Amino acid sequence: MTSLFAAISHRSRDLSTEYVWIEAAAPDAPLLVFLHEGLGSVAMWRDFPAQLCAATGCRGLVYSRPAYGRSTPKSPDEHWGPDFLEIQALEVLPALFAAVGVDLQRERVILFGHSDGASIALIHAAHFGTQLAGIIVLAPHIMVEPISITSIERARVTYQTTNFRDKLARFHDDVDSAFRGWNDVWLDQRFKVWSIESLLPQINCPVLAIQGLDDEYGTMAQIDGIAAAAPKVELLKLESCGHSPHRDQPERVTAAIVSWLAKLQPSIKS
């Protein structure tokens, strides 16, 4: 996949946003929009988006949020607040859609989010759900749990004391921008009370929520909370699976998505 770059303006700052298209055989196929994790990027998805699009018949849009991948890095003096996920969901993502020509009123769009990207998908769906065909969320966060903070604290130590920084640098032009943006805000004392639980009843589009039983960043309370609050939720809980179900159990995840999509759109191949 060859990266393209969209110019978006956000809060008086011009940002270059990396993205790639994955074409489908049918020009009117649904569009899967991939929202990456807190340390993710276009490249960190590897070949999963292409494989999922091939299995489902969907088109794909994969992008790196500002501060990640080849997108504009975070400036050294920029500090994200506890509303950073809401800003991405309600300001940056719509700006990207406008820049690359995605029209939620005319296209069947399904958001596919992992971890922080899954939270962004949930927030976006709570406000724009009537315009979405559905959302798929892997290891989402709807509130902050102690297990999340413990793992993120451990990640900071690993970043500072091992070659993890060098490995991560392969996927980001400014690796410190990517890591510090995510790590600093999650360990900010103000973020410990962050929650989107009150938004969940507003999500009226279909939701497929997937989580590993060995997730080191969250418990089943995350997806159980979605099922308890939103009206159209299907859950998949995977054994022998950590925080990245699409890496740990790609066949199970793909099969579940193909089945779920077939219920929404019978013309999608199964």
Domain boundaries, the chain: 4-264
Distance CA 82, CA 40 (A): 19
pTM: 0.96
**Total Cβ atoms within 10 A of residue 48:** 19
CA distances to 75, 146, 194 from 178, rounded to whole Å, are: 11, 23, 21
Contact indicator for 230, 201 with CB cutoff of 8 Å: yes
pLDDT more than 90, % of the chain:
88
Average pLDDT rounded to a whole number, residues 153-174? 97
Q: Which residue has the tokens 């494989």?
A: 51
Average pLDDT rounded to a whole number, residues 30-59? 96
Q: How confident is the model at residue 28 (pLDDT cuts 50, 70, 90)?
A: confident
Mean pLDDT of the chain: 94
Going by CATH, does the domain composed of 4-264 fall within 3.40.50.10860?
A: no
Distance CA 254, CA 87 (A): 29
pLDDT for the residue 19: 98
Residue scoring higher pLDDT (270 or 85): 85
Mean pLDDT check: name the lowest of 7-21, 37-51, 167-181, 229-243: 7-21
pLDDT for the residue 129: 82
